[in-house]
Amino acid sequence: MSSPSHVEVRELLSPELANLQLTVLSGDSHLDNRVTHPRVQKPGLAFAGYFAYIKPGRVQIIGESETEYLKTLDDRERHRRFERIASLPVPVFVITKGLAPLPGFLLACQQREVPVISSTALSSTVIKSISYFLEDHLVPSTNLHGVLLDIYGIGVLLIGKSGVGKSESALDLITRGHSLVADDLVTVKRYPNGELIGFSEGPLRHHMELRGLGIINVQDLFGLASVRERKAVDLVIELEHWEEGQSYDRLGLDESLYNILETPCPYIRMPVAMGRNVGILVEIAARNHVLKLQGHHSAREFARQLEEQLERNRNTLSRQG
Protein backbone atom coordinates (compact mmCIF):
# COMPACT_ATOMS: atom_id res chain seq x y z
CA MET A 1 0.00 0.00 0.00
CA SER A 2 1.16 3.51 -0.73
CA SER A 3 -0.33 6.74 0.50
CA PRO A 4 1.17 9.87 -1.07
CA SER A 5 1.99 12.34 1.69
CA HIS A 6 2.10 15.39 -0.54
CA VAL A 7 1.70 16.94 -3.98
CA GLU A 8 4.23 19.50 -5.16
CA VAL A 9 2.83 22.85 -6.29
CA ARG A 10 4.26 22.32 -9.79
CA GLU A 11 1.91 19.35 -10.22
CA LEU A 12 -1.02 21.78 -10.20
CA LEU A 13 0.28 23.01 -13.56
CA SER A 14 -0.28 19.60 -15.13
CA PRO A 15 -2.61 19.08 -18.15
CA GLU A 16 -5.22 17.64 -15.76
CA LEU A 17 -5.98 21.21 -14.64
CA ALA A 18 -5.59 22.82 -18.06
CA ASN A 19 -9.18 24.12 -17.86
CA LEU A 20 -8.10 26.52 -15.10
CA GLN A 21 -5.43 28.18 -17.29
CA LEU A 22 -3.05 28.44 -14.37
CA THR A 23 -0.12 30.87 -14.69
CA VAL A 24 2.74 31.38 -12.23
CA LEU A 25 2.91 35.06 -11.21
CA SER A 26 5.83 34.65 -8.80
CA GLY A 27 7.80 32.00 -6.97
CA ASP A 28 8.96 29.85 -9.92
CA SER A 29 11.88 28.60 -7.85
CA HIS A 30 9.60 27.39 -5.04
CA LEU A 31 7.20 25.18 -6.97
CA ASP A 32 8.51 22.25 -4.94
CA ASN A 33 6.47 23.50 -1.96
CA ARG A 34 4.28 20.69 -0.69
CA VAL A 35 0.49 20.55 -0.57
CA THR A 36 -0.41 17.97 2.07
CA HIS A 37 -4.19 18.31 2.40
CA PRO A 38 -6.85 17.70 -0.28
CA ARG A 39 -9.14 20.45 1.02
CA VAL A 40 -8.46 24.00 -0.15
CA GLN A 41 -9.16 27.20 1.79
CA LYS A 42 -10.29 30.75 1.15
CA PRO A 43 -8.26 32.93 3.54
CA GLY A 44 -10.90 35.61 4.11
CA LEU A 45 -10.86 35.22 7.90
CA ALA A 46 -7.06 35.29 7.92
CA PHE A 47 -6.99 38.55 5.95
CA ALA A 48 -9.47 39.89 8.51
CA GLY A 49 -6.93 39.16 11.25
CA TYR A 50 -7.88 35.65 12.37
CA PHE A 51 -4.59 34.05 11.32
CA ALA A 52 -5.15 30.81 13.27
CA TYR A 53 -7.74 29.98 10.60
CA ILE A 54 -4.99 29.05 8.12
CA LYS A 55 -4.35 25.30 8.15
CA PRO A 56 -0.87 24.08 7.12
CA GLY A 57 -0.37 22.47 3.74
CA ARG A 58 -3.57 23.72 2.06
CA VAL A 59 -3.92 25.61 -1.21
CA GLN A 60 -5.24 29.10 -0.46
CA ILE A 61 -7.75 30.55 -2.94
CA ILE A 62 -7.99 34.33 -3.26
CA GLY A 63 -11.11 35.51 -5.06
CA GLU A 64 -13.03 38.69 -5.61
CA SER A 65 -14.49 38.88 -2.08
CA GLU A 66 -11.03 38.68 -0.44
CA THR A 67 -9.62 41.21 -2.89
CA GLU A 68 -12.43 43.71 -2.36
CA TYR A 69 -12.11 43.41 1.41
CA LEU A 70 -8.36 44.06 1.28
CA LYS A 71 -9.00 47.21 -0.77
CA THR A 72 -10.91 48.67 2.21
CA LEU A 73 -7.77 48.59 4.37
CA ASP A 74 -5.20 51.36 4.39
CA ASP A 75 -1.87 50.55 2.73
CA ARG A 76 0.04 50.05 5.98
CA GLU A 77 -2.46 47.62 7.50
CA ARG A 78 -2.85 45.75 4.22
CA HIS A 79 0.92 45.24 3.92
CA ARG A 80 1.08 44.10 7.55
CA ARG A 81 -1.52 41.43 6.88
CA PHE A 82 0.21 40.40 3.66
CA GLU A 83 3.45 39.82 5.55
CA ARG A 84 1.68 38.00 8.38
CA ILE A 85 -0.26 35.57 6.18
CA ALA A 86 2.75 34.94 3.91
CA SER A 87 4.74 33.87 6.98
CA LEU A 88 2.26 31.07 7.73
CA PRO A 89 2.77 27.47 6.40
CA VAL A 90 1.04 28.18 3.09
CA PRO A 91 2.34 26.18 0.10
CA VAL A 92 0.73 28.36 -2.60
CA PHE A 93 -1.83 31.10 -3.26
CA VAL A 94 -4.14 30.88 -6.27
CA ILE A 95 -5.79 34.13 -7.40
CA THR A 96 -8.98 33.52 -9.39
CA LYS A 97 -10.96 35.34 -12.13
CA GLY A 98 -7.73 36.73 -13.58
CA LEU A 99 -7.66 39.38 -10.85
CA ALA A 100 -4.48 41.43 -10.54
CA PRO A 101 -2.68 40.92 -7.20
CA LEU A 102 -2.81 43.96 -4.95
CA PRO A 103 0.41 46.00 -4.59
CA GLY A 104 2.83 44.44 -2.11
CA PHE A 105 1.30 40.97 -2.12
CA LEU A 106 3.71 39.35 -4.58
CA LEU A 107 6.72 40.89 -2.80
CA ALA A 108 5.56 39.56 0.58
CA CYS A 109 5.10 36.09 -0.89
CA GLN A 110 8.48 36.17 -2.65
CA GLN A 111 10.21 37.05 0.61
CA ARG A 112 8.55 34.05 2.30
CA GLU A 113 9.12 31.69 -0.66
CA VAL A 114 5.41 31.17 -1.35
CA PRO A 115 4.45 30.86 -5.05
CA VAL A 116 1.48 32.80 -6.39
CA ILE A 117 -0.54 31.37 -9.27
CA SER A 118 -3.29 33.04 -11.28
CA SER A 119 -6.36 31.45 -12.91
CA THR A 120 -8.90 32.98 -15.26
CA ALA A 121 -11.62 30.67 -13.90
CA LEU A 122 -14.19 31.51 -11.23
CA SER A 123 -13.37 30.68 -7.61
CA SER A 124 -16.03 27.95 -7.51
CA THR A 125 -14.51 26.25 -10.57
CA VAL A 126 -10.98 26.52 -9.20
CA ILE A 127 -12.01 25.11 -5.82
CA LYS A 128 -13.87 22.19 -7.38
CA SER A 129 -11.13 21.28 -9.86
CA ILE A 130 -8.19 21.57 -7.48
CA SER A 131 -10.04 19.74 -4.70
CA TYR A 132 -10.85 16.85 -7.04
CA PHE A 133 -7.25 16.79 -8.31
CA LEU A 134 -5.78 16.75 -4.80
CA GLU A 135 -8.25 14.17 -3.52
CA ASP A 136 -7.37 11.89 -6.41
CA HIS A 137 -3.62 12.29 -5.84
CA LEU A 138 -3.47 12.18 -2.04
CA VAL A 139 -5.70 9.18 -1.27
CA PRO A 140 -4.17 5.78 -0.34
CA SER A 141 -3.49 3.54 -3.33
CA THR A 142 -2.08 0.13 -4.16
CA ASN A 143 -1.30 -2.00 -7.21
CA LEU A 144 -2.77 -5.49 -7.52
CA HIS A 145 -2.02 -8.22 -10.03
CA GLY A 146 -5.30 -9.29 -11.55
CA VAL A 147 -8.07 -8.33 -13.94
CA LEU A 148 -10.87 -5.88 -13.14
CA LEU A 149 -14.14 -6.19 -15.07
CA ASP A 150 -17.54 -4.56 -15.08
CA ILE A 151 -20.07 -7.41 -15.02
CA TYR A 152 -23.74 -6.40 -14.77
CA GLY A 153 -22.64 -3.14 -13.14
CA ILE A 154 -20.58 -5.00 -10.52
CA GLY A 155 -16.83 -4.40 -10.35
CA VAL A 156 -15.33 -7.91 -10.24
CA LEU A 157 -11.61 -8.29 -9.51
CA LEU A 158 -10.10 -11.60 -10.64
CA ILE A 159 -6.92 -12.54 -8.80
CA GLY A 160 -4.83 -15.69 -8.67
CA LYS A 161 -1.43 -17.12 -9.48
CA SER A 162 0.18 -16.54 -12.86
CA GLY A 163 -1.11 -18.97 -15.49
CA VAL A 164 -4.36 -19.78 -13.70
CA GLY A 165 -6.40 -18.25 -16.55
CA LYS A 166 -7.42 -14.79 -15.37
CA SER A 167 -6.97 -13.04 -18.72
CA GLU A 168 -8.51 -15.89 -20.70
CA SER A 169 -11.57 -15.90 -18.43
CA ALA A 170 -11.79 -12.12 -18.74
CA LEU A 171 -11.66 -12.36 -22.54
CA ASP A 172 -14.51 -14.89 -22.47
CA LEU A 173 -16.55 -12.43 -20.38
CA ILE A 174 -15.77 -9.56 -22.75
CA THR A 175 -17.06 -11.61 -25.69
CA ARG A 176 -20.26 -12.11 -23.65
CA GLY A 177 -20.80 -8.33 -23.51
CA HIS A 178 -19.04 -7.31 -20.30
CA SER A 179 -16.36 -4.61 -20.02
CA LEU A 180 -12.66 -4.59 -19.23
CA VAL A 181 -11.34 -2.01 -16.77
CA ALA A 182 -7.76 -3.19 -16.22
CA ASP A 183 -5.67 -6.25 -17.03
CA ASP A 184 -2.54 -7.55 -15.32
CA LEU A 185 -1.84 -4.54 -13.07
CA VAL A 186 -4.84 -2.91 -11.39
CA THR A 187 -4.35 0.36 -9.53
CA VAL A 188 -6.84 0.75 -6.68
CA LYS A 189 -7.47 3.95 -4.71
CA ARG A 190 -9.50 4.28 -1.53
CA TYR A 191 -11.51 7.49 -1.39
CA PRO A 192 -12.81 9.21 1.77
CA ASN A 193 -16.31 7.74 1.25
CA GLY A 194 -14.79 4.25 1.53
CA GLU A 195 -15.10 3.36 -2.17
CA LEU A 196 -12.31 1.35 -3.74
CA ILE A 197 -11.88 2.56 -7.32
CA GLY A 198 -9.82 0.48 -9.72
CA PHE A 199 -8.31 1.52 -13.06
CA SER A 200 -5.34 0.98 -15.34
CA GLU A 201 -2.44 3.39 -15.57
CA GLY A 202 -0.06 3.89 -18.46
CA PRO A 203 0.01 2.50 -21.99
CA LEU A 204 -1.62 -0.87 -21.12
CA ARG A 205 -5.04 0.75 -20.67
CA HIS A 206 -7.64 -1.08 -22.81
CA HIS A 207 -5.07 -3.79 -23.61
CA MET A 208 -4.74 -7.42 -22.56
CA GLU A 209 -1.85 -9.88 -22.66
CA LEU A 210 -2.81 -13.36 -23.88
CA ARG A 211 -0.30 -16.18 -23.94
CA GLY A 212 0.28 -17.26 -27.53
CA LEU A 213 -1.33 -14.12 -28.97
CA GLY A 214 0.57 -11.34 -27.26
CA ILE A 215 -0.90 -7.89 -26.58
CA ILE A 216 -4.37 -7.15 -27.96
CA ASN A 217 -6.34 -3.90 -27.96
CA VAL A 218 -9.75 -4.77 -26.52
CA GLN A 219 -11.42 -1.52 -27.59
CA ASP A 220 -10.29 -1.93 -31.21
CA LEU A 221 -11.42 -5.56 -31.33
CA PHE A 222 -14.74 -5.33 -29.50
CA GLY A 223 -15.77 -1.68 -29.60
CA LEU A 224 -16.09 1.20 -27.17
CA ALA A 225 -18.61 -0.59 -24.93
CA SER A 226 -16.05 -3.32 -24.17
CA VAL A 227 -13.91 -1.08 -21.96
CA ARG A 228 -14.38 1.20 -18.98
CA GLU A 229 -11.95 3.72 -17.52
CA ARG A 230 -12.69 3.20 -13.81
CA LYS A 231 -14.86 0.98 -11.67
CA ALA A 232 -15.51 0.41 -7.96
CA VAL A 233 -14.28 -2.97 -6.71
CA ASP A 234 -17.38 -4.77 -5.40
CA LEU A 235 -16.37 -8.45 -5.49
CA VAL A 236 -13.03 -10.29 -5.42
CA ILE A 237 -12.81 -13.74 -7.00
CA GLU A 238 -9.61 -15.73 -6.57
CA LEU A 239 -9.04 -18.35 -9.25
CA GLU A 240 -6.95 -21.30 -8.09
CA HIS A 241 -6.03 -24.67 -9.56
CA TRP A 242 -8.29 -27.49 -8.36
CA GLU A 243 -6.56 -29.63 -5.73
CA GLU A 244 -7.88 -33.06 -4.89
CA GLY A 245 -8.84 -33.24 -1.25
CA GLN A 246 -8.98 -29.46 -0.84
CA SER A 247 -12.06 -28.20 0.98
CA TYR A 248 -14.32 -25.90 -1.06
CA ASP A 249 -17.59 -24.21 -0.11
CA ARG A 250 -20.38 -26.27 -1.70
CA LEU A 251 -23.46 -24.38 -0.45
CA GLY A 252 -22.32 -20.77 -0.58
CA LEU A 253 -23.05 -20.15 3.10
CA ASP A 254 -19.48 -19.21 3.92
CA GLU A 255 -19.02 -15.48 3.40
CA SER A 256 -15.38 -14.45 3.30
CA LEU A 257 -13.81 -11.02 2.97
CA TYR A 258 -10.70 -9.81 1.17
CA ASN A 259 -9.01 -6.66 2.48
CA ILE A 260 -7.82 -4.03 0.02
CA LEU A 261 -6.31 -0.91 1.59
CA GLU A 262 -7.79 -2.05 4.92
CA THR A 263 -11.26 -2.13 3.36
CA PRO A 264 -13.10 -5.50 3.31
CA CYS A 265 -14.62 -6.76 0.04
CA PRO A 266 -16.80 -9.85 -0.54
CA TYR A 267 -14.47 -12.70 -1.57
CA ILE A 268 -14.94 -16.02 -3.37
CA ARG A 269 -12.41 -18.82 -3.91
CA MET A 270 -13.15 -20.44 -7.27
CA PRO A 271 -11.33 -23.67 -8.24
CA VAL A 272 -10.27 -24.01 -11.87
CA ALA A 273 -10.28 -27.46 -13.43
CA MET A 274 -10.44 -29.05 -16.86
CA GLY A 275 -13.93 -28.76 -18.31
CA ARG A 276 -15.09 -25.90 -16.08
CA ASN A 277 -16.20 -22.78 -17.96
CA VAL A 278 -14.73 -20.24 -15.59
CA GLY A 279 -16.15 -17.27 -17.51
CA ILE A 280 -19.72 -18.46 -17.00
CA LEU A 281 -19.03 -19.26 -13.34
CA VAL A 282 -17.67 -15.74 -12.76
CA GLU A 283 -20.70 -14.29 -14.52
CA ILE A 284 -23.04 -16.33 -12.30
CA ALA A 285 -21.10 -15.20 -9.21
CA ALA A 286 -21.64 -11.57 -10.28
CA ARG A 287 -25.36 -12.20 -10.87
CA ASN A 288 -25.64 -13.86 -7.47
CA HIS A 289 -23.88 -10.90 -5.85
CA VAL A 290 -26.42 -8.55 -7.42
CA LEU A 291 -29.21 -10.67 -5.92
CA LYS A 292 -27.54 -10.51 -2.50
CA LEU A 293 -27.39 -6.73 -2.73
CA GLN A 294 -31.13 -6.81 -3.46
CA GLY A 295 -31.74 -8.93 -0.36
CA HIS A 296 -32.01 -12.36 -2.03
CA HIS A 297 -29.48 -14.85 -0.65
CA SER A 298 -30.05 -18.12 -2.51
CA ALA A 299 -27.88 -20.29 -0.26
CA ARG A 300 -29.48 -18.99 2.93
CA GLU A 301 -32.99 -19.40 1.49
CA PHE A 302 -32.15 -22.99 0.47
CA ALA A 303 -30.71 -23.73 3.92
CA ARG A 304 -33.81 -22.23 5.57
CA GLN A 305 -36.17 -24.30 3.41
CA LEU A 306 -34.12 -27.43 4.12
CA GLU A 307 -34.22 -26.77 7.86
CA GLU A 308 -37.98 -26.24 7.72
CA GLN A 309 -38.39 -29.53 5.84
CA LEU A 310 -36.27 -31.38 8.39
CA GLU A 311 -38.28 -29.82 11.21
CA ARG A 312 -41.54 -30.97 9.58
CA ASN A 313 -40.10 -34.48 9.19
CA ARG A 314 -39.08 -34.53 12.85
CA ASN A 315 -42.56 -33.42 13.91
CA THR A 316 -44.16 -36.09 11.73
CA LEU A 317 -41.93 -38.81 13.20
CA SER A 318 -42.65 -37.54 16.71
CA ARG A 319 -46.41 -37.79 16.17
CA GLN A 320 -46.10 -41.25 14.67
CA GLY A 321 -44.03 -42.38 17.63
Question: Rounded mean pLDDT of the chain?
Answer: 88
Please give the positions annotated as active site.
145, 166, 184, 250
- This prediction has a pTM of 0.71
pLDDT tens digits for 193-236?
889 999 998 778 888 888 778 888 999 999 999 999 999 999 99
**Residues whose CB is less than 8 angstroms from the CB of residue 226 and which lie 6 or more positions away in sequence, other chains included:** 174, 179, 180, 218, 219
E strands, the chain, are: 7-8, 23-26, 34-35, 60-62, 93-95, 116-118, 141-151, 154-160, 179-190, 196-199, 207-210, 214-217, 230-232, 235-241, 256-260, 263-272
Residue 288: what pLDDT? 87
pLDDT tens digits for 237-249?
999 988 776 666 6
Instruction: Determine what percent of the chain is predicted with pLDDT higher than 90.
Output: 62
pLDDT tens digits for 73-82?
999 999 999 9
Looking at the chain, how many residues does it have? 321
DSSP strand pairing (60-62 vs 34-35)? unpaired
Q: Assign 251 a pLDDT band (cuts: 50, 70, 90).
A: low
* 137 pLDDT higher than 70: yes
List, in order of start, the domains of the chain with CATH numbers.
7-138 (3.40.1390.20), 141-286 (3.40.50.300)
* 275 pLDDT higher than 90: no
Residue 237: what pLDDT? 96
Give the count of beta carbons closer than 10 Å to the beta carbon of residue 105: 25
pLDDT tens digits for 27-81?
999 999 999 998 899 999 999 888 888 989 999 999 999 999 999 999 999 999 9
